[in-house]
């Protein structure tokens, strides 16, 4: 199943999509924020997908409950800290936690740059307390428009030493990659890596644009890459990673069934694809579950599952020495 001699790595994991239901409930009570039900047992359905959403935007709306209760910077720090604890509970050796500071700040008008600092502090403390390694990826939420994304980028770059990369997420259709070339020139100047959500709600051209316009070396989801053989060959030849998320892609309606996920074809084509969770609290899953369904439902063999772990290790935004340390810890 999971190769024990290799680290278990999650490269596509949204910190603000992994806020515990219990924490949302407690922060709502603490911050006098009304919720739609009186009992916690009735609340789960509001923050977690039970089968699948009608589309990506409905799926994303489930995340809103978590950020709506973040009234203070301490609240932001708490959920960041708990995200690291969740890595330990899930048996994950290394993760890259991505978050949108504007999304976390907007409900209660928090200072966006201060949210970045609070999240970084929570993750740093969590890594020390739980002896696990995690890095941060800042998200530009294109759903809120170009001007807001620039403000969000300014806040992230004010704390660029706390980040390894910048991502572009949200409404792929109405805010395509080519609108954000100026922002990602700034990202390049800041010496940060680039991973872009693409090929999830939109087609393979979205992936091409993420690569050509924004210089992405990793693609979040990239499911629709399967529709373009030339793109798959380009991904393989240029070592551009696809961050696959099986359950998420089913729950958002990106694929009709887990069995139909193209992760097997990506592997067979030589694409550097890895397996990730996306929004584990919203989906009700963890990374080991994703490996189980990759084996039991998609039908990947042990060698292919091991390749997914190797690919994640190779694609991680860490140094060669850090990779060696992760490997050494498993020996």
The pLDDT tens digits for 144-190 are 999 999 999 999 999 999 999 999 999 998 999 999 999 999 999 99
CATH number where 213 lies: 3.20.20.140
* 56 pLDDT more than 70: no
Task: Single out the catalytic residue among 172, 200, 243, 286.
Answer: 200
- Residue 286: the pLDDT is 97
Q: Residue 76 falls within a domain, yes or no?
A: yes
For residues 252 and 49, what is the distance between their CA atoms, to the nearest angstrom?
9
pLDDT digits (tens, 9 = 90+) for 71-91: 999 999 999 999 999 999 999
Give percent of the chain with pLDDT exceeding 90.
88
The whole-number average pLDDT for the span 113-123 is 98
pLDDT digits (tens, 9 = 90+) for 203-220: 999 999 999 999 999 999
User: What is the extent of the structural domain holding 104?
Assistant: 9-330
- Residue 331: the pLDDT is 84
Q: Residue 4 falls within a domain, yes or no?
A: no
How much is the mean pLDDT over the chain?
Answer: 95
> Domain tally for the chain?
1
- Residue 39: the pLDDT is 84
Q: Residue 104 falls within a domain, yes or no?
A: yes
Sheet bearing 165-169, strands edge to edge: 9-14, 94-99, 133-141, 165-169, 193-198, 218-221, 241-244, 273-275
Has 178 been annotated as catalytic? no
Q: Which residue has the tokens 């694929």?
A: 255
Which residues are CB-contacts of 319 (< 8 A; sequence separation ≥ 6)? none
Euclidean distance between the first and the last CA atom of the chain, given in angstroms as a whole number:
17
DSSP assignments along 164-198, one per residue = SEEEEES-TTTS-GGGGHHHHHHHHHTT-EEEEEE
Q: Residue 235 falls within a domain, yes or no?
A: yes
Q: Residue 3 falls within a domain, yes or no?
A: no
Q: Residue 262 falls within a domain, yes or no?
A: yes
SS3 33: coil
For residues 82 and 159, what is the distance between their CA atoms, to the nearest angstrom?
21
Q: Residue 248 falls within a domain, yes or no?
A: yes
Q: Residue 151 falls within a domain, yes or no?
A: yes
The whole-number average pLDDT for the span 293-300 is 97
The whole-number average pLDDT for the span 14-23 is 96
- Residue 55: the pLDDT is 67
């Amino acid at each position: 199943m999971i190769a024990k001699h290799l680290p278990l790595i999650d490269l596509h994991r949204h910190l603000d999509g992994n806020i515990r239901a219990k924490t949302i409930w407690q922060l709502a009570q603490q911050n006098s924020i009304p919720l739609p039900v009186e009992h916690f047992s009735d609340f789960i359905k509001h923050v977690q997908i039970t089968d699948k959403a009608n589309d990506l935007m409905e799926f994303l709306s489930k995340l809103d409950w978590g950020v709506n209760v973040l009234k203070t910077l301490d609240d932001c720090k708490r959920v960041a800290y708990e995200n690291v604890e969740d890595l330990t509970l899930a048996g994950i050796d290394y993760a890259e936690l991505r978050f949108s500071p504007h999304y976390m700040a907007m409900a209660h008008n928090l200072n966006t740059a201060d949210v970045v600092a609070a999240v970084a502090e929570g993750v740093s403390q969590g890594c020390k307390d739980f002896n696990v390694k995690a890095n941060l990826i800042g998200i530009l939420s294109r759903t809120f428009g170009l001007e807001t994304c620039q403000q969000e980028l300014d806040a992230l770059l004010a704390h660029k030493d706390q980040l390894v990369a910048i991502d572009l997420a949200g409404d792929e259709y109405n805010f395509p990659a080519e609108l954000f070339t100026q922002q990602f020139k700034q990202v390049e100047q800041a010496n940060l890596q680039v991973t872009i959500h693409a090929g999830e709600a939109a087609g393979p051209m979205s992936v091409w644009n993420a690569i050509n316009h924004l210089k992405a070396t990793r693609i979040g989801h990239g499911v629709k890459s399967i529709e373009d053989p030339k793109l798959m060959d380009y991904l393989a030849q240029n070592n551009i990673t696809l961050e696959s998320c099986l359950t998420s892609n089913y729950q958002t309606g990106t694929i009709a069934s887990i069995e139909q996920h193209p992760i097997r074809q990506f592997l067979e084509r030589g694409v550097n694809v890895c397996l990730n969770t996306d929004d584990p609290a919203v989906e009700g899953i963890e990374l080991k579950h994703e490996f189980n369904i990759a084996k039991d439902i998609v039908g990947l063999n042990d060698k292919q599952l091991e390749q997914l772990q190797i690919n994640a290790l190779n694609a991680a935004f860490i140094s060669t020495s850090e990779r060696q340390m992760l490997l050494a810890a498993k020996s």
